[in-house]
Structures are given as structure tokens and as C-alpha cells.
Amino acid sequence: MTVRTRIAPSPTGIAHLGTAYIAMRNLAIARQNGGQFVIRIEDTDRERYVEGAVDIIFEAMKWLGYPYDEAPDISGPYAPYTQSERLPIYKEYVQQLIANKKAYYCFCTKERLEQVRSAALAKKELPRYDRHCRHLTDEDIQKQLDSKAPHVIRLAVPETGVTICQDVVRGPVEFQNSGIDDQVLLKSDGYPTYHLGVVVDDHLMKITHIIRGEEWLSSSPKHVLIYEAFGWELPIFAHLPVIRNKDHSKMSKRKNDVSILSHRDRGYLPEAINNFLALMGWSHPEKKDIFSLDEFLKIFTLDRITLTAPVYDIEKLNWINGSYIRSLTDVELAERLSAGFVPSACSGELLASIVPLVKERLVTLKDFDDLASFFYLEPSAVEMTADDKEYLSVAKELLASCAWSKEGIEGSLIPAVKDHGWKNGPFFAALRLAVTGKKISPPLSESMVILGREKVLARLTLKV
RNA sequence: GGCCCUAUCGUCCAGUGGUUAGGACACUUGGUUUUCAUCCAAGUAACUAGAGUUCGAUUCUCUAUAGGGUCACCA
């Protein structure tokens, strides 16, 4: 049997880092087995639907370099891959369940449901549906249907017994059926709930491995029950630990930047994001810290998964990102920077000459402008002390005539500093401040060489 | 609160029925460096608690505790 995995994101506005974390693991399992990796859009909640959100998901997947085999934008043998386009399918299958008494019509109003709920809460019982409509007579049902009464369809959960979810990373997880609610399968608007949609589609799309976040573990018995109600073979389940905020709650946009694309915009490399995500809840068998997505896809295994939920640590991501930036060639780095991180005032030629000076100083691509702006913008005025001015006038004179190279500049300035009985520290600090407008800068001599004699002297003249 | 999951340095991960419990990030210190950064070296820092099994438990079992997830006509 061909291994098929999937991710099933909802178009709610952002492509989530958690989706990438799950996606790369699904991709790996599919690839290793010569199977397919599918993206299915679960857009059955019309109230939360956000225009354009689907494209953002594809854009994020492409930026991260996850090749998918079937999806709404490229179609495939089990199309459509968007749930809102599959409504007749769910209706058809849910009828099958009704015919077999595995599901039933429920005509309860929202108001009645709310009453049942608050009554249960008041008695400190768990709020759940009281199964009021479960034993309606066929006659009653027909009458309600004839009068076009709004209704949902619910799963008839067995009242006794145990449902076991076989999870490959956790082992069997048992749930008492008596604790499971009669879940709504089909909403009154005709859309399926997640539970129906996910099971029907995973079955129809021949998904063999359901690798998803731990937040689904509690609802997995419902899914198992639905599979059993249909008489379908169960897929393999793997519930992975969710990534958390620093305060250990489930990672959320309230407390973290969870958007994949905003990481791109903040100057993170896809390689770094992938490497960082790979290290969440999993470790390289050879204990490597830095490795490519390609390598990950080849060697990822479910048995090395850690069950403890990891914390998103920006410091670690920063280190990984810097490490990838440093591993790029100068030409590659210039290309990456050109994708929106270099102001128009900086020409391609200038960029090429600056890159070697800033490469080992960049944590993110976005740091470039901060570090290099003095190359293409005049630094703002800074206060100079009397000592500084004395240093600068000497420097100016020497720089006017020395050979214009790192060696020429240093060979001229350093002996002069010594001759005056000065120290290198304060002398170069003043020069740096005058030339770059900053106390901290890329290597000064090289920077001046790039800047050109004319500009350097002009900046010194202003200060003296 | 019910149900479910989890428990090794601050963080991410190794690891074992007998180890000086290992690495990385971060942090501290030192070296290189005209600044910063890089690079190099060193250092601080952890097996949640109790009981049981065992000659011996961080490791296996149970309980407690803690953290998390989930309890919708949201996914």
C-alpha cells in the first residue's frame, strides 16, 4: 500500500509555524516510503474563513521548500482538495451512517442546547448533549424533515465500552465511551464538522498516516468511532507534541510571532526555520545541530520523537539563522539580501563589496540596513570632543595622501598614532564615529576603502 | 472540574538497571581583534517528590505533585 500523508490546514489568515512543523514530518514519512504528501484545505467554518488565506499557505510551503504532490492549487487524483467543494460527498456518506443507525438527526435548537449545557454546569456535571433526539421515531423525524426544521446530524456514540486509539508514538490510549459526547457530524448549514470531514476525506484520499498535533489526541476516539461506524480500516495515528510559548502554553499568535511569512519578512532563512523546527521534539541520530531539510527528510523517524512539548526559543533560532548566513557564499548572501532587505540607495556593486564585511555580523537579513546604512547614507551629526578633533585632523591629513587600501591606510595611521604618543583605542574610536556615525561598525579600514577617499575626507572635514 | 498526554541544566535535545549524567543555545570568564561580530578555550547549571521492584534506580511500576492539551453546529 502506498504511504500517503497530509496536512489539513484551515484558512484562518496566517500560515502557522506549527503547520510547518507538522508538514515537514508528514513530508518526510511520505518521501521515505515513496508515497505522496497531500495538502487539503479544511474550510468548513464559514465564519472564520479569511479571503486569501489559502494562497498564504501555499506561499509558505513553497518558501520553506516543501514539495507537495496533491493540493487545491495543483489538483490530483482525489480532487477536490478543498472541503467546501466536497459538500455532496459528506451528505452522501452521512446518510450511510443514518441508515445504519450510527448517526441520527437532531432537531434541538441552540436555545435548548444552551439550557442543557447550563443545567449540567450548574450541577457541576460535564456539559454535553443529553441525547434528546437520539431515539426519535421515524415518524417524528419525517415530520420534522417535512416541515424543513433546521437540524444537525450527530454521531451515535456507544454508551458503554472503550475506544482505543493506537498511537505509534504513545502506544494505545484508552477512552471510556461513556465520556464521549454525541458529536455533531453535519452542521445545520450543510457543512461537515471537522470530525466528519477529516475522516471521510482521509479515507477517500487513502491517507495512511495521520501525523498531527497533540491537540487532536482527545478527539481521536471520535475519529476512531467514525471509522468504525463506516466499517473502514483505521489509519496509523501519530500525535506529536505541540510547540509552546515561553510560558509553556500552546504556541499562539498572542504570545509569539507564529507566522511563517513574517519570519521570512523579519530576515530568517527558510533553511534556518526548517533546521530549528526539525529540532523540536526530535533529534538527529548523530546529534548534529545543523543539517539541511533534505537530510531531515531522509533520516527523520517517528521513533526518535520526544513526547515533551518543546518551547519556541527565539535565541536558538537566531543562532541557527546566523550560522546559515555565515555558511552562505558572498554571492548567495547578496542574492538573499536583495530580496527586500537592501535599500535602493545601495547599488548591487556596493552591496557585493559590503557583504564580506557584514556577513559574520548578521543575525537576520534584516540587520543589514542597520549595519551598512553608512555606506549609502550620510551619517547623522555626532558630537566630537576636543581630543577627537585633534585625532581627526591628523587622520585627515594622512588619509589624503596614503595608498587607498587596508594596508596603505593602516600603514599610515598606526605609526602616526604611536608617534603622537596616543593609543589606538581612542584614536580609532573617534575616526570610526566620524566616518560611520556609530560607535560600533564593520571593520573600519575596509569600510573606508569601500567608501572611497573622497567620501571619507568629506565626512572628516565636517567634524574638524 | 472530567478525560487524556507529559516530566533530564533557564531553553532545545542525548543517554543508561551500575556513567565524573553528554552536546547545543543562552549566560559568565579568558584568548584573538583599533569597535562589534566571528573564531578558539574554559566555567556555572538538570534527572519533580514519595513508595515499590532490585544487590543497585535518573532509567521499570504505582501514587502524589506540576505543566500542558481537550471538553462547540472552531478547526
A246 three-state secondary structure: coil
Q: How far is the CA of A45 from the C1' of B74 (A)?
A: 7
> Which nucleotide in the DNA or RNA is closest to residue A221, CA to C1'?
B4
> Which nucleotide in the DNA or RNA is closest to residue A282, CA to C1'?
B13
- Write down the pLDDT at residue A386: 87
A6 three-state secondary structure: strand
Q: Is the CB of A383 under 7 A from strand B?
A: no
Show which residues of A are catalytic: 253
pTM: 0.95
Q: How far is the CA of A360 from the C1' of B24 (A)?
A: 19
C-alpha cell at position A53: 488565506
Q: How far is the CA of A127 from the C1' of B1 (A)?
A: 11
- Assess if CATH 3.40.50.300 describes domain A87-196: no
* Cβ within 8 Å of residue A319, ≥6 positions away: none
Chain B positions with an atom below 7 A of a protein C-beta are: 1-8, 10-14, 22-26, 34-39, 67-75
- The model's pLDDT over A246-296, given as tens digits with 9 standing for 90+, comes to 999 999 888 889 999 999 999 999 999 999 999 999 999 999 999 999 999
Q: What does the domain layout of chain A look like in residue ranges?
A: 87-196, 261-371, 386-463
Q: How far apart are CA A246 and CA A233, in angstroms?
A: 40
- Write down the pLDDT at residue A21: 98
C-alpha cell at position A247: 510560558
Q: Is the CB of A250 under 7 A from strand B?
A: yes
Least Cα distance to A289 among A308, A300, A276 occurs for A276
> Which nucleotide in the DNA or RNA is closest to residue A189, CA to C1'?
B73
Q: How far is the CA of A377 from the C1' of B55 (A)?
A: 76
> Which nucleotide in the DNA or RNA is closest to residue A129, CA to C1'?
B72
Least Cα distance to A302 among A30, A15, A6 occurs for A30
- Write down the pLDDT at residue A375: 97
Cα separation values, A206 from A5, A176, A209, A419, Å: 9, 28, 9, 82
DSSP 8-state code for residue A215: G
Q: Is the CB of A319 under 7 A from strand B?
A: yes
- The model's pLDDT over A102-131, given as tens digits with 9 standing for 90+, comes to 999 999 998 899 888 888 878 777 788 999
Q: How far apart are CA A88 and CA A86, in angstroms?
A: 6
In window 169-188 of A, residues with CB < 7 A from nucleic chain B are: 170, 173-176, 179, 181, 184, 187-188
- Write down the pLDDT at residue A464: 63
**Element holding A433 (H helix, E strand):** helix A424-436
- Write down the pLDDT at residue A121: 79
- Assess if CATH 2.40.50.100 describes domain A261-371: no
Q: Is the CB of A115 under 7 A from strand B?
A: no
A395-428: burial string, b at 16+ Cβ within 10 Å, e else: bbebbeebeeeeeebeebbeebbeeeebeeeebb
Residue ranges, chain A, pLDDT below 70: 463-464
Please identify which residue in the block is written with the cell numbers 535599500.
A343
Q: How far apart are CA A184 and CA A195, in angstroms?
A: 8
**Element holding A432 (H helix, E strand):** helix A424-436
- The model's pLDDT over A300-348, given as tens digits with 9 standing for 90+, comes to 999 999 999 999 999 999 999 999 999 999 999 999 999 999 999 999 9
Furthest-apart CA pair in chain A: how many Å? 109
Q: Comparing A87-196 with A386-463, is the CATH topology the same?
A: no
Q: How far is the CA of A316 from the C1' of B71 (A)?
A: 35
A245 three-state secondary structure: coil
CATH class of A386-463: mainly alpha
